[in-house]
Each structure stands twice: as structure tokens, then as C-alpha cells.
Amino acid sequence: MSDKKLNPKLHESELEQIATRDGYGEGLVTLGEKNKDVVVLTGDLSASTRAKKFQDKFPERFIEVGVAEQNMMGIAAGLALSGKIPFVSSYAVFVPGRCWDQLRVSVCYSNVNVKVAGAHAGISVGPDGATHQALEDIASVRVLPNIALVVPCDVNEAKKTTIAAAEREGPFYFRFSREKTPVITKEDTPFKVGRAETFKEGSDVTIVACGPLVYQSLIAAAELEKENISAKVINNHTIKPIDKLALASAAKETGAMVTVEEAQINGGLGGAVAEVLVESYPVPMERVGMPDTFGESGKPEELLEKYGMSVKKIKEAVNSVIKRKVKK
């Protein structure tokens, strides 16, 4: 992808920062204006999830369920069966966390048109601690048949994801962060569910990232260039259906791969990419993510550093995997 499709201030300190959840709220309002069948539900978290933007403008299509996430998923399934396009909004530890069974049976097994938005995902929830840091949701959702799973990299992509979810028939899950994160894309940056986007070309290694850590991956790649390491960076926002062709092609081009995600490395993006490569074009691979442990309270940047998801750790993973490359 041409750099012209990314924020021209990508490597500048004044890069604007906005939480991805704000893109969800903006996307809901856009959808509400275009489609009268869009309805939004929440479990007493309209302000935090930014669903309140829709609530304020379309109160007749907003349902406050209260702290009853399992009931909320069932209600959403019923609304979908009646022709509506329901968006279920909550923290990712609650949705899908507390209602995985209802998501599995009422939504995915029934293959109904429910959209599930999991906010406050990842370790960067920070001070809220382990109970509110959704790190297992990618793994637990992607095994469910019929559902799409997207992790937008910034506020613009979050808005695009929200709109795309309504346009795509069937179950859909997407996760957002709470903290403000760098805005690295523009309104005209290409986005399509199921298609990975190359944000930087490279020849020595491929960094495959999702969510806000796409930014850290780009910064790591820029620093690696100064060390004569050419890193290709792929924004793999769609975990399911994953872009097998793009991943296999990148593996052939660079011969080594590093995955980066703000989630458990077991079963998450890293697991999904590894499955693709094993079946198509195996290459040495390293995974950057939550290392099979629960988090703790702290500042987001401190937690990313402690649990190995910083720019420094991404660079270390790149250097490690390059040493294992098969020499041609």
C-alpha cells in the first residue's frame, strides 16, 4: 500500500490519538441515519461503549437491557429473526465473555444477523485489572462457525468496521480498546472485511498485526530499517475469514513472520496465522502477544512493556525469527 493511504504524520509526535470505541459510536449514528432496521442494545454501558451516541439520536431504536448480558444476546437473536440488525454493545469480558453459550447457540448455530461489539479489549484497559482485560475473546470467538471477527487498528477503521458489519449478513464480532490510540489511517484508506492490507513493503520479514498494535509494528519496522532490516507490515484486521492468500504470499516473499496482537497468543491472531502457514507455506515464526497469563492493574504503556507487546519486544521477535530463516 502506498504511504499516501496512511496518515502523513505517522512518525510524528503530534499524531492525533482517539479511542477506537469512538469510531464505533460514529459508525452506529451513520448506520442509524441510513437504515431504520438498525437497533442497538447495551448492558448498562452506553457511555463507555459509545453506544450513547446512537441512543441520543435514535432513542426509539435503543434498548437498555441492564446487567443481563445473556438475556441481551437472546433478545438480539430474536430481533434479528424479526428482520432487525441488532448491535450488542458491552465490554468484551462480558460480551462475548459472559454470554458465550448464547452467542454460540442463539446466534452462531442459528446463523442470525447479530453484530457483537466488545469494548475495553486488551491489556491496555490498564487500571481496571485482570477481570476487565479481555484477552481471550479472539480465541474463543474465532472457533465458532458462521461468525466474522474483526479487530480494527484505529478510530477510522473502527467506524468502517461498524458500517461493514451491518452490510454483511450473519454473525459478526469486533473488539475495541478503551485508551486513545494513534490514528494511522485516513478516510480513504482501503478496507474490506476478509482482506489484509499491506501498510509497509519489506523483504526480510513480515510483521502481521491487528488492532492498535499495528501502530507499534509500523514504528518497529521504521526503526528496523535503520538497522538494515526490511520489514513488511500487514494490517490483518480480519481474523476470520482470514486472508490466506495474502499471508502465504508474504511468507514466500520474506521467509519469516512475526504476529503482533493485544490478546492471548494461544488461539489468537498468532494461532490463526500459524494454521494458515502450516497448510500453505511454512516459515519460521514468532508470536508477540499476552504470554499465557492474566494481566494486572497499571498504566497501559507499562503493561504493554511488562507483558512483551512493546516496540522493543516486536524488534526482538523480528531479530530472533530472522536468525531462524532458511538460507536459500
In the chain, CATH 3.40.50.920 sits at 197-318
Candidates 210, 203, 201, 122; CA nearest to 161 is 210
What is the per-residue pLDDT across 248-302, written as a single tens digit (0 to 9) for each?
999 999 999 999 999 999 999 999 999 999 999 999 999 999 999 999 999 999 9
pLDDT of residue 53: 96
Q: Which residues contact 308 (CB under 8 A, 6 or more apart)?
A: 288, 289, 291
- Output the CA–CA distances (angstroms, integers) from residue 126 to 6, 139, 190, 301, 302, in the order listed: 28, 21, 31, 8, 9
Q: Please, what is the average pLDDT of the chain?
A: 95
* 13 — pLDDT class (breaks 50, 70, 90): low
Candidates 41, 33, 44; CA nearest to 73 is 41
Candidates 143, 139, 90, 141; CA nearest to 118 is 90
What is the Cα–Cα distance from 209 to 237, expressed in whole angstroms?
A: 8
* 7 — pLDDT class (breaks 50, 70, 90): confident
Task: Give the mean pLDDT of 121-137.
Answer: 93
pLDDT of residue 2: 47
In the chain, CATH 3.40.50.970 sits at 12-182
Q: Angle at the Cα of 210 (from 204 to 212), degrees rounded to 5?
A: 110
**Confidence check: pLDDT of 80 > 90:** yes
What is the per-residue pLDDT across 152-168, written as a single tens digit (0 to 9) for each?
999 999 999 999 999 99
Candidates 140, 147, 211; CA nearest to 176 is 211
* 143 — pLDDT class (breaks 50, 70, 90): very high
What is the Cα–Cα distance from 64 to 120, expressed in whole angstroms?
A: 19
CATH architecture of the domain with residue range 12-182: 3-Layer(aba) Sandwich (3.40)
Other CB atoms within a 10 A radius of the CB of residue 128 amount to 14
26 noted as active-site residue: no
Segment holding 259, helix H or strand E: strand 257-264
CATH architecture of the domain with residue range 197-318: 3-Layer(aba) Sandwich (3.40)
What pTM does this model have? 0.95
Q: Angle at the Cα of 312 (from 284 to 316), degrees rounded to 5?
A: 25
CA 157 to chain centre: 10
**Confidence check: pLDDT of 4 > 70:** no
The x, y and z cell numbers of residue 326, run together, are 532458511
DSSP 45-92: -HHHHTTHHHHHH-GGGEEE--S-HHHHHHHHHHHHHTT-EEEEEEET
**Active-site choice (14, 16, 33, 69):** 69
**Confidence check: pLDDT of 111 > 70:** yes
Contact (CB, 8 A) for 318 and 229: yes
Task: Give the mean pLDDT of 304-313.
Answer: 96
What is the per-residue pLDDT across 84-102, written as a single tens digit (0 to 9) for each?
999 999 999 999 999 999 9
